[in-house]
Chains A and B, each alone.
Chain A
Amino acid sequence: MKYQSQKVARLYFMAAIGLFTGQILFGLILGLQYVIGDFLFPAVPFNVARMVHTNLLIVWLLFGFMGAAYYLVPEEAERELFSPKLAVALFWIFLVAGALTILGYLLVPYSGLARLTGNDLLPTMGREFLEQPTITKLGIVVVALGFLYNIGMTILSGRKTVINMVLLTGLVGLAVLFLFAFYNPDNLVKDKYYWWWVVHLWVEGVWELILGSILAFVLVKVTGVDREVIEKWLYVIIAMTLITGIIGTGHHYYWIGTPGYWQWLGSVFSALEPIPFFMMTVFAFNMINKRRLNHPNKAAVLWAEGTAVMAFLGAGVWGFMHTLAPVNYYTHGTQITAAHGHMAFYGAYAMIVLTIISYAWPILRGEKAANQRAQVLEMWSFWLMTVSMVFITLFLTGAGVLQTWLQRYTDDPLPFMVVQEKIAPFYWMREAAGVVFLIGLLVYLYAFVARGKPAEDATAA
């Protein structure tokens, strides 16, 4: 660790891992409700568990991105963080606001929460992923502004590397696009149109900049390859991201009341969206093959490779599968979508956060890498979680293909609920794979315990 202030990243990483655990527990509840319909009903209805699952996901990824920024920005900028105190204060604000929101979902009926938080004054609630009460959304904006100020001041008064500038662009984009969460017209078509400016332009736009820059940072560190080469790759990747991904938004504008030309635009551009993900895979393996040093943190290298592969599979391959309009006509809003959503979110964003944690955590403790045993455990957890996510995706894909066939494609389409019953075996298998995922996560947590006491006092490094 070069700069003392990088240490605030630890808080953020701890919160991320804690919330990740919560996310998975609720995922397993959801998976069970899929097959045992009245499980926990009416105490925790499906929609409530789902909000908890997806909102915890987004919040832990945001904690992860912020932790990554607090770790790598000072190192790249070659100066201390502008204000470590602000970083700590914002951490607690975000954590408390997040916890209160989740408790609100679990303890108060959603309509009560809406009333309690004055949703009628500025109605923003009740849309997928944006279920947070308006006041929580405002809190997120405040935290984001403070965070950007802190990071921005650090970057602008320090060494301006490409990695830092791209990361900053991604983070600013994230905050700016979130503002569309406050636009909720009565016109459903317009509502949906701009809702995607948050959701799609996040995961297939600005978040990819964040992903690319974190990956580039870790690769610079673990391979020792010339920064010039890595920065050139980074530029090409994010160029392709935005060139394909912005108009690619059109793959969500096929059937929501928007004009027909989006079927062409969306299909063509989104079919190109796998390119930047493929380039990321080539990039990571190329750099690792050309490495000039053998970094002792083998687990971090594995996570980086895993991110590059799984992001391509989940976003690139599974995204492409249903992105052409004639295919999407039948698969839209089925388990195919869920399959893709899981592998893409895990492969790209969960794994990049786990990559930077893997790389940075030992250094924050004052050692270069964890001890052998802890690394082996961590690599076991990598394989358990990653392979079970592959199986979750495959089972959901099986369910989705059957659902599409039985409910959408045959001459004699069956009702939704009838089809769901027929494909229940796939849901059982998904749940089993989910349990293995949880075991992998427990191994991951245990790997932290196995690190033992820091080799030397973290302040010494």
Chain B
Amino acid sequence: MSEVFTKSMARNIYYGGSLFFVFLFLALTFDTMKTLPQQDNRAAITPQVALGKRVWEENNCIGCHTLLGEGAYFAPELGNVYKRFGNSTEAIKAFIRSRPANGIPGRRSMPQFNLSEEELEGVAQFLKYTSEIKTQNWPPNIQG
């Protein structure tokens, strides 16, 4: 780089630029938080859904599945599984309940988590709540 462009100019761009974009990002975050209520389906967050999120986390479902496209890529997307299963929490519960403890020979397997009825209902309600978040029409189709 030439002598016209000095180190102190470079430093000023670094300080000025970074500071500007930090503040812009904070402003955008503020605006996002203001608009979220219209999209994030927060009205559906009942104590049951909150429990379901905890069940989701404490069994590390994200370690195999994606949820709204984030997580692991080993098993199906679950952000829209409620819809894929015909808008049925019962079907979700039945699926989770019926996993064989020793897996399915040769097939990618999901563990048997031995969840209580309350936990099952919670996690199914949590997946229902997730499927009703407004996600700019993602995923492209029902297969997730």
The finding on whether chains A and B are genuine partners in a shared complex, rather than unrelated, reads: yes
| CA–CA, A334 and B114, complex, Å | 29
B58 touches A33 (CB 8 A): no
B12-48 contacts to A, CB under 8 A, are 13-14, 17-18, 21-22, 24-25, 28-29, 31-33, 35-36, 39-42, 45
B102 touches A42 (CB 8 A): yes
| CA–CA, A15 and B67, complex, Å | 34
Indicate which residue in B14, B18, B35, B144 contacts A259 across the interface (CB closer than 8 Å): B35
A123 touches B62 (CB 8 A): no
B143 within 8 A of A: yes
| CA–CA, A303 and B109, complex, Å | 40
List chain B residues, Cβ under 8 A from A162. Answer: 11
A387 within 8 A of B: no
A51 touches B63 (CB 8 A): yes
| CA–CA, A42 and B63, complex, Å | 14
List chain A residues, Cβ under 8 A from B68. Answer: 188, 192, 255-257
B59 touches A126 (CB 8 A): yes
Q: Would you give the shortest CB distance from A176 to chain B, in whole angstroms?
A: 12
Residue of A nearest to B63 (CB): A47
How many chain-B residues does the 8 Å CB contact rule pick out?
Answer: 76
Given A38-B103, A333-B66; A257-B39 close (CB under 8 Å): yes
Q: Would you give the shortest CB distance from A65 to chain B, in whole angstroms?
A: 20
B98 within 8 A of A: no
| CA–CA, A42 and B64, complex, Å | 14
Residue of B nearest to A260 (CB): B136
A45 within 8 A of B: yes
Given A111-B58, A333-B66, A333-B71; A263-B45 close (CB under 8 Å): no
Q: Would you give the shortest CB distance from A105 to chain B, in whole angstroms?
A: 9
Selected interface stretch from A82-90, A246-254, A345-353: A246-254
Residue of B nearest to A286 (CB): B1
Q: Would you give the shortest CB distance from A136 to chain B, in whole angstroms?
A: 15
A428 within 8 A of B: no
B143 touches A110 (CB 8 A): no
A257 touches B133 (CB 8 A): yes
A255 touches B136 (CB 8 A): yes
Indicate which residue in A111, A242, A253 contacts B17 across the interface (CB closer than 8 Å): A242
B1 touches A232 (CB 8 A): yes
A239 touches B17 (CB 8 A): yes
List chain A residues, Cβ under 8 A from B41. Answer: 257
A193 touches B32 (CB 8 A): yes
A37 within 8 A of B: yes
Given A126-B57, A256-B70; A416-B77 close (CB under 8 Å): yes
A337 within 8 A of B: yes
Interface flags, A249-276, vs B, CB<8A=1, else 0: 1001111111110110100000000000
List chain B residues, Cβ under 8 A from A329. Answer: 138, 140
Given A42-B101, A186-B53, A256-B135; A235-B71 close (CB under 8 Å): no
Please list 28 pairs of residues, one from A and one from B, whose beta carbons are closer than 8 Å in the complex, sorted by A's number: A38-B106, A41-B111, A110-B59, A111-B58, A111-B113, A128-B71, A184-B57, A186-B45, A193-B29, A235-B10, A236-B1, A236-B10, A238-B14, A239-B18, A242-B18, A243-B17, A246-B18, A247-B21, A253-B32, A255-B135, A255-B138, A257-B135, A258-B36, A259-B32, A265-B28, A408-B143, A415-B143, A416-B143
Q: A186-B53, A188-B40 are in contact. List 4 more A-B contacts (CB 8 A).
A: A50-B63, A235-B14, A263-B136, A407-B143
